[in-house]
Amino acid sequence: MKWLPWSVILALAAMPAWAADPIVGRWLLTSQTIGGQKTQIEELTLRINPSGAALEFAYSVPVRDIQFVSLRFTAKPDGTAADVTDANGKKVGTVKVTKTSATQYRVVLEGPGRPTANGAMTVSADGKTLTSESDSTPLTQTGGQSAVTHMVQVFARQ
């Protein structure tokens, strides 16, 4: 058995965690478009971490200089349904995440009283940008559905 020099081991250990999967990392929302209209954004951070065979997604906002997780889910990237929880750990829906290429994931998010969102998350070729595009059909006040809304969120790697 051949041993690796310490310098190689240290270099491998210092590689970013996202090198294995480009979606893994900390992302900051930089722009948002809803229905073709650019909207003002609040500070939003998306952290995506490996968790065994799954990926953990945690959306957080700053509250008094502390990152407050507002939505979280851990899903295998094979389309298996997983629970989505809010800041209080209460289940608010389900998500299915499917890896469709080396840099893209299909995401289906649904919950009671909420529109189903179908979309994709794509990491840019340089690994610095994550674009999330989704289509959803909001419910009307009478319980029916209205026109499809297209949303694009762009995140920058932090």
Buried-exposed string 2-35: b where 16+ CB fall within 10 A, e elsewhere:
eeeeeeeeeeeeeeeebeebbbbbbbebeebeee
91-143 residue pLDDT tens: 999 999 999 999 999 999 999 878 889 999 999 999 999 999 999 977 666 55
Q: Mean pLDDT lowest for which of 34-38, 79-83, 143-147? A: 143-147
Domains, the chain: 16-157 (2.40.128.20)
Q: State the pLDDT at residue 1.
A: 40
From 130, 98, 107, 101, select the one nearest 25 (Cα to Cα).
130
In whole angstroms, give the CA distance from residue 53 to residue 29: 26
The partner residues of 108 in beta bridges, in order of sequence, read 96, 118
pLDDT tops 50 at residue 63: yes
Instruction: Write the DSSP assignment of 17-71 as a string of letters.
Output: GGGTSTT-EEEEEEEEEETTEEE-----EEEEEEETTEEEEEEEEEETTEEEEEE
Q: State the pLDDT at residue 142.
A: 58
33-55 residue pLDDT tens: 999 999 999 899 999 999 999 99
